[in-house]
Amino acid sequence: MRSKLPHIGTTIFTIMSKMAQEEGAINLSQGFPGFGADPELLDMVAKYTKAGYNQYAPMSGIPSLREKMAEKTLRCYGAKVNPETEVSIVSGATEAIFSSITAMIHPGDEAIILEPAYDSYEPAILLSGGIPIRVPLNSSDFSVDWERVKNSITFKTKLIVINSPHNPSGYVWTQDDLDQLAELVRERNIYVVSDEVYEHITFDGRPHLSLVGHEELRQKSFVCGSFGKTFHVTGWKLGYCIAPEKLTEEFRKIHQYVTFSSVTFLQYTLAEYLEKPERYESIPGFYQEKRDLFLTGLKDTGLEFQATQGSFFQTASYGHLSKIGDRELAEKMTKELKVACIPVSSFYHNQKDDKIIRFCFAKENSDLEEALVRLKNLG
């Protein structure tokens, strides 16, 4: 048997979460909330399963949820989208990303990804016979090196995959980043997959600039999001994709054979939950408090860091404290300090090790406080 993904193993998120569990460590590795969701949301789930919404949903998502997403998109990003032809509900952002990439990439096409990159982009490109072209982000702050991106474009470039707020660094794209991207794809046959799963987690009043809110970029973009990330229910695996009609048509051709449709009662639940915008508008404040708590304690650990701008991740450098590899350090921390994190080398195809680790602070404050006490023994 010849593997279709010979160089790909089990994801680092699975490995570190398993190790955290086995070692009884506080798990600041895999990105999922360590606290429960809003009880009102959970009550709605019970309501809609009992009401009998347990059969297949329409392939593209239930109309009321697509309409709510159109309203939210107008409210948050000033963009009018057609819920019928431009919004699709799918099984998590992972599926949105996979189906978008699969819809666009033909064998031999090149797709640019910006490294460090989330792990699901590259396999999707490879499975379609595409060629991943990895462009490094600036090492100082993980901003985009636009000159390098420009120099990586060839006549084969079909797609650029972007991610803001960025996992793992938390870098949030500026208006200038969007304009630079627009300039690059203008008059070229290049499309964009925009991973915006952390759209509602930005700090210090910084806005998230969605590609759907950019008049030019939205014409060529698949904007992918995750209800799991926004509402603390990552296990629901429900997400969405917003794209212009022609792109959505191609997207849905893939989606209907990847999963066909996504969990029905959860879609009804979210359609009702989204009726109150404060439910997503309160998310930045909620996470700002956790980020600030975490950063205050992190200052006393000897680790070096720049405050994350978005997402629920904080990266930190330890090269001045230890010379061991980041993966070894992550294992050692999990086993000895009983705090699990993610080695950032896992976000590079060649495991480039800059001695940086990533913490997820979407956890109970008591767990964050205890982890910070333990991390003081790092040096």
Task: Decide: is 13 part of the binding site for ligand GLN (CB under 6 A).
Answer: yes
Which of ligand GLN, ligand PMP, none binds 13 (CB below 5-8 Å, type-dependent)?
A: ligand GLN
Q: Which residues contact 183 (CB under 8 A, 6 or more apart)?
A: none
For ligand PMP, which is the closer residue by CB, 44 or 233?
A: 233
Measured in degrees and rounded to the nearest 5, phi and psi for residue 24 equal: 65, 35
Task: Decide: is 202 part of the binding site for ligand PMP (CB under 6 A).
Answer: no
Picking from 278, 269, 292, 234, the residue whose alpha carbon sits closest to that of residue 33 is: 234
* Torsion of Cα atoms, 281 then 69 then 120 then 190, to 10°: -110
Task: Decide: is 167 part of the binding site for ligand PMP (CB under 6 A).
Answer: yes
Task: Decide: is 167 part of the binding site for ligand GLN (CB under 6 A).
Answer: yes
The pair of three-digit structure tokens given for residue 212, joined into one six-digit string? 């759907």
Question: What residues between 215 and 274 interact with ligand PMP by CB under 6 A?
Answer: 226, 228-229, 234, 237, 239
Picking from 248, 328, 270, 225, the residue whose alpha carbon sits closest to that of residue 84 is: 248
Strands (E), 6-149: 26-27, 87-90, 110-115, 131-136
Task: Decide: is 121 part of the binding site for ligand PMP (CB under 6 A).
Answer: no
Which of 5, 8, 11, 176 binds ligand GLN (CB under 6 A)? It is 11
Decide: 275 and 129 in contact? Cβ < 8 Å: no
The pair of three-digit structure tokens given for residue 316, joined into one six-digit string? 């930190």
Question: What residues between 28 and 57 interact with ligand GLN by CB under 6 A?
Answer: 30-31
x/- letters, 28..67, toward ligand PMP (CB under 6 A): ---x------------------------------------
Residue where the block lists tokens 């008059």: 187
Task: Decide: is 83 part of the binding site for ligand PMP (CB under 6 A).
Answer: no
Residue where the block lists tokens 């420009």: 150
H or E element, residue 180: helix 175-185
H or E element, residue 345: none
Question: What residues between 207 and 226 interact with ligand PMP by CB under 6 A?
Answer: 226
Report angle CA 221, 227, 230 to the nearest 5 degrees: 100
For ligand GLN, which is the closer residue by CB, 13 or 53?
A: 13
For ligand PMP, which is the closer residue by CB, 113 or 217?
A: 113
Name the minimum Å distance from CB 120 to ligand PMP.
6
From the CB of residue 87, how many other CB atoms can be counted at a distance below 10 Å?
Answer: 25
For ligand GLN, which is the closer residue by CB, 13 or 348?
A: 13
Name the minimum Å distance from CB 13 to ligand PMP.
8
For ligand GLN, which is the closer residue by CB, 27 or 248?
A: 27
Residues, the chain:
379
Q: Which residues are at the interface with ligand PMP (CB under 6 A)?
A: 31, 92-94, 118, 163, 167, 195, 197, 226, 228-229, 234, 237, 239
